[in-house]
Structure 1
């Protein structure tokens, strides 16, 4: 529903709400930890019902998108919705593009088999690799196990929860940076800058922990100042993730699929993300026990790989209408080899080319 020029900013609102939710959870955990009797965790867990109720009630008032209305044959309602969300009566060109895209999508009987076709190879690779890389940045190690991690590097139980709250605050405010810049700087610049900053932060944190804990994983003389420096670089890392791989890991997959394979592509993206979220959550503590400080180097290595991948294989999608995104892949030095001229189906090709060049 978002216009192309604001799509990045509005889409990252999704990630912003996630970061606010994480921060709220950290605050709740910090507060309930002090409840006498050891039953505070029940309050913390039970409060998860609150966002569940909000989501359920909110879904009742959620409007349909113009795409969905067109696909189901409600043309007049689609035009009305398009006028409402664009704030103008001049929606005929965009409406015609949506109708053409919908007609092509309806001609595809099996989106799950079609996404395996050669011409959709760029989108399929991104649907798998972007969420895969997002989880291998190591962010869930920080966000899931921040209290455990901070306690390990010298903070007490309450102090470790407080440090988790600090990283949560950084996560929220850094996401605003992404909202303000993604449609101006573009996706690639944020990916590359964030990847570089995450790499440096992880190497520093791993080295600082190695100097104090060594290969035994035990340190008895770590000072508060030393531990605070580690927390500072963890916050640098969280900030970098929050304006790069955090929101863009969801934004970019949401804008690269044509309508005929969008349901399959988005399903793959979410499934891969949830799968590796689960795997990393299950193996982190075991990996920390065995790798110790090397775990940060492990994730740093993956950050190098994903940053190089973005530099070489991810085209810029800023300001490009979703209906015309195929032209971006066609012009790419590598992915263009998978797309023939016959695979390009855009209502007005010359206008689309001008749009791409302007972007």
Structure 2
């Protein structure tokens, strides 16, 4: 529903609300843990029902989208809604040449799941829907979050170290997301991906070097100076900030805007499924890998940060200020992906060819 030149900002506002919710939840957990009698967890768990109730009630008042209405044949309602969203009456160009044409292309694709796997039509989008969520989880962000409480404890937080560290990293995560809100539509998605990858790589290696120099391969140390812990915590916060304005929000924004209408639902399902699977794998094997690899675990994830940053540099086209309905042309003009977008039997290509013929006529 967002205008294409503000699509990044509105999409990442969604991510900002998530980070605010995470921070609020962490603060609630920290405060309820102080309740005597050991029943504070009931308060924390019960309060989670409040936003759930708000979501449930608000869903009855949620507007449909013009694209969805067009897809279901409700063109008059779609045009009226589009005028209300854009705030102008002249929406013919966007409605006729973007939404209606996208709907016509989508109707030619009868089996979105089957077509999603076709090599000569949607291979770029399929690759992105798999690799971006995979790389997002294999940045090592979960490792950083899990290991942070031990380091914060050395700063004097005592038994509440894990909860306090969650508040600190959650606050950094929230404020850094604002950078992405400001810059995604100004600097572009690709530049933020690249800068965030380089920043995460530098400070992940720095964390590994610092912890390795102090703990070694045994993990035993009698005393950790507060100054040393402060440096490590600062590196962690800078690393989290790099993730928060790049791979955190853009890992959801980029896949959501690159799929044509005819495969959008199927491809988005792939994105979410891969993200959840990668999260599960990291969560299940993290502790075992940490015990076996020690500080080398950070180098392990730094390797993936290198791979994903190189991948972005060579294979990720910029999507800033491009209407979703015209996104297919981005892949057709990319130096690498265009070889997968020239199937003469692709029904979408036939529609585009007919449209160009009619325009010339």
In structure 2, do the counterparts of structure 1 residues 282 and 43 end up closer, same or farther at CA, with 3 Å as the change threshold?
A: farther
Q: What SS is found at the alignment partner of 2:101?
A: helix
Match of 1:116 in 2: 117
Match of 1:355 in 2: none
1:321 Cα deviation from its structure 2 partner: 0.7
TM-score normalised by L of structure 1: 0.92
Match of 2:241 in 1: 239
State whether residues 132 and 273 of structure 1, in contact with CA within 8 Å, keep that contact through their aligned partners in structure 2.
yes
1:52-91 per-residue CA deviation (whole Å, 9 max, x = no partner) reads 2222122111110001101112111100110011111111
Match of 1:353 in 2: none
State whether residues 215 and 292 of structure 1, in contact with CA within 8 Å, keep that contact through their aligned partners in structure 2.
yes
1:16-57 per-residue CA deviation (whole Å, 9 max, x = no partner) reads 111112211221122122222333233323322222222212
- How many residues are aligned here? 350
Matches within 5 A, 1:200-215: 200-215=202-217
In structure 2, do the counterparts of structure 1 residues 59 and 154 end up closer, same or farther at CA, with 3 Å as the change threshold?
A: same
Match of 2:28 in 1: 28
In structure 2, do the counterparts of structure 1 residues 281 and 341 end up closer, same or farther at CA, with 3 Å as the change threshold?
A: closer
Match of 2:196 in 1: 194
Match of 2:17 in 1: 17
Matches within 5 A, 1:319-334: 319-334=321-336
State whether residues 144 and 281 of structure 1, in contact with CA within 8 Å, keep that contact through their aligned partners in structure 2.
no
- After the TM superposition, list the runs of 4 or more consecutive aligned residues in structure 1 that deviate by more than 6 angstroms: 347-350
State whether residues 148 and 233 of structure 2, in contact with CA within 8 Å, keep that contact through their aligned partners in structure 1.
no
Match of 2:104 in 1: 103
Moved more, 294-303 or 337-346: 337-346
Q: What SS is found at the alignment partner of 2:164?
A: helix
RMSD of aligned alpha carbons: 2.0
Moved more, 146-155 or 226-235: 146-155
Q: What SS is found at the alignment partner of 2:122?
A: helix
TM-score normalised by L of structure 2: 0.92
CA distance in 2, matches of 1:216, 1:20: 38
State whether residues 151 and 233 of structure 2, in contact with CA within 8 Å, keep that contact through their aligned partners in structure 1.
no
1:3 Cα deviation from its structure 2 partner: 0.8
1:254 pairs with 253, 256, 262, which one?
256
Structure 2 unaligned segments of length 5 or more: list them: none
Moved more, 51-60 or 150-159: 150-159
Matches within 5 A, 1:59-78: 59-78=59-78
Match of 1:58 in 2: 58
1:313 Cα deviation from its structure 2 partner: 0.5
Structure 1 unaligned segments of length 5 or more: list them: 351-359
State whether residues 155 and 227 of structure 1, in contact with CA within 8 Å, keep that contact through their aligned partners in structure 2.
no
In structure 2, do the counterparts of structure 1 residues 42 and 284 end up closer, same or farther at CA, with 3 Å as the change threshold?
A: farther
State whether residues 150 and 161 of structure 2, in contact with CA within 8 Å, keep that contact through their aligned partners in structure 1.
no
